[in-house]
Amino acid sequence: MQTETSLLPPLTPKVHSWISQFISDPERVRSVIKQYGSPVNLHSTTPFIENYENYKRVLDKYELNHLICFARKANKSKSFVKAASEHGFGVDTASYRELLQCLDEGMDKDKLILTAAIKNKELIELAIKNEVLIIIDNLDELELTKKLSTELGVVAQIGLRLGGFHINGHKLYTRFGVDIEEAKNFMLDHIQQANQIQFRGFHFHLNGYSIDERAKAIAETIALIDEMRKYEISTEFIDIGGGLLINYLEDREEWDEFQEELKMAVQGFREPITFQNNGLGYSINDGELIGNLATYPYYNETHKEDFLEAILSYPTGKGEIATLLKDRNITIRMEPGRSLLDQSGVTLAEVVFRKYDSQGNLLIGLHMNKTQLFSSSADFLLDPIVLNYESNEDSEPTSGYFVGAYCLEQDVILKRKINLAKTPAIGDIVCFPNTAGYMMHFYETEAHLFNLSTNLFLKENGKVERD
Ligand SMILES: Cc1ncc(COP(=O)(O)O)c(C=O)c1O
């Protein structure tokens, strides 16, 4: 077979010890694929609990009342719900089935929250009957909630989602929530006098990953809370949603180098490092490089608990954020999805073929499709770990693209061309690390009638079990 040794910038993933231990045992990996087919999603709740405990430690350090709810939209497995319940933290639900499963698991109603973007009658009824906190997004939803709580004879527990915060002279766009400028009148006109509902607190979830924006949104919400107090409306909590950054990569230099090489490739100054020279957000306009990297920011020095601490210790003219919350006895709630799942899952897929495309690129066909590992941003930028169990010892280093089973030219699992220590052999397994948060479940489809991937959990006793 043809080989190519051109230098491609690597992006070495951070890998938790449970993953390195598991993949160091070829027999186990092979037996999992043999039993459940390819691909499989293998999880562990150990990092999930570690991530929760690290957040909790920071909140305790600032002596804040708090509730952390796992945003389960990021991964559909029930085992994470069970783990959250056993360790005393909550779950944020975004649909009827997500909420129903949590209730069926016997979760404490006070640890559940409903933030679904669309809430129909059945969903609101389920929440009201079970006294689950409902985060109200708009007036129609509030009116329906009031009507249903009157019919059911149960007071609905509600929070109000806010949006449109003012950050450094501009207003943050969102399609969600009630605009902060209209929130006071909304509260006075529709919530203050309504006895079918009990108002508990304010909520927001910001797009993007800015500490500054989150701290300023909390400060603006606190100003609203102070104003509401003049009208005898008290507020129990502020919920800051999710979006706490994680760090996927080992090395800043690799991250910087990758971005430089991508720009060079898009400008034609080096051979492509992505499929069909995809700019991942960069392009050429009139000979000029334009755009920005349109992926998740995979390398971050301030991440998870440090990111949270940076928000809490953020200075405002009236004191740091944590002090403002504590002075008012406001509980801080948060709903991390991706960051609680950091290091909690991998996707394993089997090599089915090797071939060359019409431009001479090595393609490695995997028994999976692109929806089984799909990023909502331009690409998932972590090097996979190729488990060369079957590979021929004397094969040369090479590089190539991983391709999947959908009949699309674009069914390329990762858009980056990947360095390979040797040409993978049929039956080798490719491990895509850190895919539990959004990558494995958010966009999966059953087109071509392929089965969805099986979700497995590695238990403390070393056994692998279905979710
Ligand atoms: C309302 C709400 N809360 C929490 C989250 C979780 O965000 P993340 O997974 O980035 O922590 C989301 C994500 O879209 C959301 O919309």
Distances (CA, A) of 92 to 179, 205, 399: 22, 12, 41
Query: Could you report the per-residue pLDDT of 92-127, keeping only the tens digit for each?
Result: 999 999 999 999 999 999 999 999 999 999 999 999
Judged against a pLDDT cut of 60, whether residue 209 lies above it is answered with: yes
For residue 72, being part of any structural domain is answered with yes
- Residue 356 structural domain: 17-44+344-466
Asked if residue 243 has its Cβ within 6 Å of ligand 1, the reply is yes
Judged against a pLDDT cut of 80, whether residue 247 lies above it is answered with: yes
407 included as an active-site residue: yes
**Would you state the pLDDT for residue 7?**
84
Q: In terms of domains, do 312 and 381 share one? A: no
CATH number of the domain to which 364 belongs: 2.40.37.10
Q: In terms of domains, do 136 and 259 share one? A: no
CATH number of the domain to which 152 belongs: 3.20.20.10
For residue 8, being part of any structural domain is answered with no
Q: In terms of domains, do 460 and 357 share one? A: yes
Q: In terms of domains, do 85 and 40 share one? A: no
Q: In terms of domains, do 327 and 263 share one? A: no
**Would you state the pLDDT for residue 409?**
86
Q: In terms of domains, do 50 and 40 share one? A: no
- Average model confidence (pLDDT) across the chain: 96
First to last CA, the chain: 40
% of the chain exceeding 70 in pLDDT: 99
Query: Could you report the per-residue pLDDT of 256-275, keeping only the tens digit for each?
Result: 999 999 999 999 999 999 99
Q: In terms of domains, do 285 and 321 share one? A: no
Q: Quote the CA–CA distance of 167 and 165 in Å, as a whole number.
A: 6
Q: In terms of domains, do 404 and 320 share one? A: no
- CB-based burial, 101-131: b 16+ in 10 Å, e otherwise: bbbeeebeeebbbbbbeebeeebbbbbbebe
Query: Could you report the per-residue pLDDT of 285-316, keeping only the tens digit for each?
Result: 999 999 999 999 999 999 999 999 999 999 99
Query: Could you report the per-residue pLDDT of 345-384, keeping only the tens digit for each?
Result: 999 999 999 999 999 999 999 999 999 999 989 999 999 9
For residue 153, being part of any structural domain is answered with yes
**281, 294 contact by CB (below 8 A):** yes
Query: Could you report the per-residue pLDDT of 26-53, keeping only the tens digit for each?
Result: 999 999 999 999 999 999 999 999 999 9
Task: Tell me, in angstroms, the distance from the centre of ligand 1 to residue 287's CA.
Answer: 38
Instruction: Please return the burial class of 137, using the count of CB atoms within 10 Å of its CB with bins 0-12, 13-18 and 19+.
Output: buried
**Would you state the pLDDT for residue 5?**
45
Among protein residues, the one whose CA lies closest to atom 12 of ligand 1? 242
**Would you state the pLDDT for residue 342?**
98
Q: Which of 69, 102, 407, 431 is catalytic?
A: 407
Alpha helices in 274-347 (DSSP H): 304-312, 321-327
Choose one of 204, 205, 213, 338 to mutate for the ligand 1 pocket test, by most ligand atoms within 8 angstroms of C-beta: 205
Atom of ligand 1 nearest to the CA of 437: 9
Task: Tell me the DSSP string of 124-140.
Answer: HHHHHHTT-EEEE-SHH
For residue 418, being part of any structural domain is answered with yes
Number of domains in the chain: 3
Q: In terms of domains, do 349 and 279 share one? A: no
Angle between helices 78-86 and 46-61 (to 10 degrees): 40
Q: Quote the CA–CA distance of 367 and 389 in Å, as a whole number.
A: 16
Choose one of 119, 175, 204, 335 to mutate for the ligand 1 pocket test, by most ligand atoms within 8 angstroms of C-beta: 335
Q: In terms of domains, do 80 and 143 share one? A: yes
**322, 311 contact by CB (below 8 A):** no
For residue 75, being part of any structural domain is answered with yes
- CB-based burial, 258-268: b 16+ in 10 Å, e otherwise: bbebbbebbee
For residue 1, being part of any structural domain is answered with no
Choose one of 52, 70, 73 to mutate for the ligand 1 pocket test, by most ligand atoms within 8 angstroms of C-beta: 73
Q: In terms of domains, do 120 and 209 share one? A: yes
Q: In terms of domains, do 145 and 230 share one? A: yes
For residue 9, being part of any structural domain is answered with no
Asked if residue 47 has its Cβ within 6 Å of ligand 1, the reply is no
CA atoms within 13 A of residue 315's CA, in its CB half-sphere: 1
Task: Tell me, in angstroms, the distance from the centre of ligand 1 to residue 327's CA.
Answer: 27
For residue 2, being part of any structural domain is answered with no
Please give the single-letter amino acid code of residue 152: L
